[in-house]
Chain A
């Protein structure tokens, strides 16, 4: 091999190496942008006014559930936690959190269900059921305006696992989450602006769904969109992705219950 060709090959390798390095960087904090900023003024107005935001219908239900005695222990959430406005302020912004008892991450929905089983002797609530969405919306509302803060020391492994899934090309379209949401946000996909994909407003009211939905529902939508094999609600993979996404959105303020087109 001539020295010229050798140099060209080396240069080529360097370009490839730098492209890989570029792709392996997390979205920098100064570039974070909430999808709220890309919404039409009418949709923003809908989110901003509590009497116009359909998510608040679930919040009203959640407030009633918070005070309702349930399970064979006949205990309400409020009996232990008191006024959610104080006891739950900023809590949802820290979820998924590290659960010492299980030695792993637990989502807000998972915590609600664990609390129901362990302290109320009640049945768990299914993902996307009206009750679970109502309770999680009510809790998430108490964190509105608070910065997202995930315990990255304790959840380091989960964040890393989520990052791997985020960057893994998958599905028949052979796309990774990062290709759209890290590298092409702000561009167009079928006429829609590609968002950065921050989870700062969940559970949120999607006009397309005509209902409130959890982050995991949205993640499953995206996986269907790239024609990938889906993960079950509450699965290790979705929890890891959720944890990584919350970490990636660290410092952004919570908008729950948000409205999205």
Chain B
């Protein structure tokens, strides 16, 4: 179950700076740890986060093993036009999740 909490303002004025806050449920296993029997625990992290606004990429982040579990990513953008903001997370072991929200710009 890949759960995400996303906060995107549903309405904004044209040219307004809006803040987008995202929280993705993921254990972010570093790959540096060992199990109680001494076997290495393989890395399992989110590697990429991409945000698009009406199909155009507006934000991208690369994630590394030092990032805590359930990564919280927040960024700002300028509300230019009404449309869809889509957020995509990709990671190890074929992890893929996406969320989208519509924004009305007046």
Q: Which of B7, B27, B28, B69 contacts A51 (CB 8 A)?
A: B7
Does B43 touch A at the CB level, under 8 Å?
no
Cβ contact within 8 Å between B68 and A57: no
For the residues of A in contact with B, the DSSP-based class is loop
Cβ contact within 8 Å between B3 and A52: no
Which residues of chain B come closer than 8 Å to A210, judged between CB atoms? Answer: 27-28, 68-70
**What's the tally of chain B residues with a CB closer than 8 Å to chain A?**
15
**A252 → B minimal CB distance (Å):** 26
Does B66 touch A at the CB level, under 8 Å?
no
Q: Which of B1, B4, B6, B69 contacts A64 (CB 8 A)?
A: B1
Assess A52 versus B1: contact at CB under 8 Å? Given A57-B70, A210-B69.
no
What residue of chain A has the Cβ atom nearest to residue B68's Cβ? A210
Q: Give the interface residue-count category, chain A.
A: 10 to 19
Does B23 touch A at the CB level, under 8 Å?
yes
What residue of chain A has the Cβ atom nearest to residue B6's Cβ? A51
Does A96 touch B at the CB level, under 8 Å?
no
Residues in B lying within 8 Å of A, measured CB to CB? 1, 3-7, 21, 23, 25, 27-28, 68-70, 72
Residues in A lying within 8 Å of B, measured CB to CB? 49-54, 56-57, 60-61, 64, 207, 210-211
Give 30 A-B contacts (CB < 8 Å), ordered by A residue. A49-B7, A49-B21, A50-B5, A51-B5, A51-B6, A51-B7, A52-B5, A52-B7, A52-B21, A52-B23, A52-B72, A54-B23, A54-B70, A54-B72, A56-B5, A56-B23, A57-B4, A57-B5, A57-B23, A60-B3, A60-B5, A61-B1, A61-B3, A207-B68, A210-B27, A210-B28, A210-B68, A210-B70, A211-B27, A211-B69
Apart from the given pairs A51-B5, A51-B6, A52-B5, 11 other A-B contacts in the complex at a CB distance below 8 Å: A51-B21, A51-B23, A52-B7, A52-B21, A53-B5, A54-B23, A54-B25, A54-B70, A57-B23, A207-B68, A210-B68
